[in-house]
Amino acid sequence: MQMSTAAMIFAAGLGTRLYPLTADKPKALVEVEGTPLLAWAIQKVIQVGITRIVVNVHHYGEQIIHYLQTHPFEAEILVSDERDYLRDTGGGFKWAAPLLQGVDHILLYNTDVISSIDLQAMFDFHIRQHALATLAVRNRPTQRYFIFDPRSMLLRGWINKKTLEQKMICPVKKPVELAFSGIHWVKQELLSLISDDRKQSLTDIYLYLAARYSIQGYLHQEDEWADMGKPESLAAFRGCSYQKS
């Protein structure tokens, strides 16, 4: 039986790192090589054959809605409106649940990520591992890392290198610390396991659930990847090598 999929693109952030570019527009509409970040994300998602995409909005949300109404894509684009209250990733995902019914698996994708990652290969891995959630991760410098068991690549903790805050689910021999890439495949079941709290982070949700469910890391070290939410990334970006599916 063929499994059905949908996607959610997180586009509700305030874009504070890109100020003043986001003083009068949402981060999702900041252009990279003449194309808004949101369009980069939508086209990437469409490449894997997904035809239903939910986009959440908050900061200058009306601009995103207008953009989607005036720029057709080869997919059904639905808006999850958070203009009343910014709910973070977990709360935003839960709020969008009515728009994500009737599918088996959901791709979650940050609007400020541009990558050559093979989303189909990641999905195949997600299915083989029977994971509740599969997180794209890589070895790169950052402040916050997920901690994995190097043999199973199961999520076992999280650490903030700046504050030294650490959350461990269980002890691991020779744990590996990897940075999250803002891309995840999840089972539909995850939505039923998230509380109705208005504001919550998917990071905290994953750490809570990892003691009972398979939260898997997917290493994609060889792919091109860029966090376009930072001005230095915008300045240095050269898109030709990111066009792989």
Q: For residue range 19-60, what is the model confidence (pLDDT) as tens digits?
A: 999 999 999 999 999 999 999 999 999 999 999 999 999 999
Per the CB < 8 A criterion, the answer to whether 118 and 245 are in contact is yes
Which residue bears the tokens 């959901």?
106
**Which pLDDT band, with edges at 50, 70 and 90, does 245 fall under?**
very low
Considering the entire predicted model, what is its pTM? 0.95
Residue 241 reports pLDDT greater than 70: no
**Which pLDDT band, with edges at 50, 70 and 90, does 1 fall under?**
very low
Q: What is the largest CA-CA distance in the chain?
A: 53
For the chain, what's the residue count? 245
Q: For residue range 100-142, what is the model confidence (pLDDT) as tens digits?
A: 999 999 999 999 999 999 999 999 999 999 999 999 999 999 9
Two tokens at 2?
Answer: 């063929």
Q: For residue range 136-171, what is the model confidence (pLDDT) as tens digits?
A: 999 999 999 999 999 999 999 999 999 999 999 988
The architecture that CATH gives domain 5-238 is: Alpha-Beta Complex (3.90)
Per the CB < 8 A criterion, the answer to whether 215 and 199 are in contact is no
64 CB-side CA count, 13 A: 32
What was the pLDDT predicted at 3? 86
Residues 6+ apart with CB under 8 A from 232: none
Two tokens at 105?
Answer: 């698996």
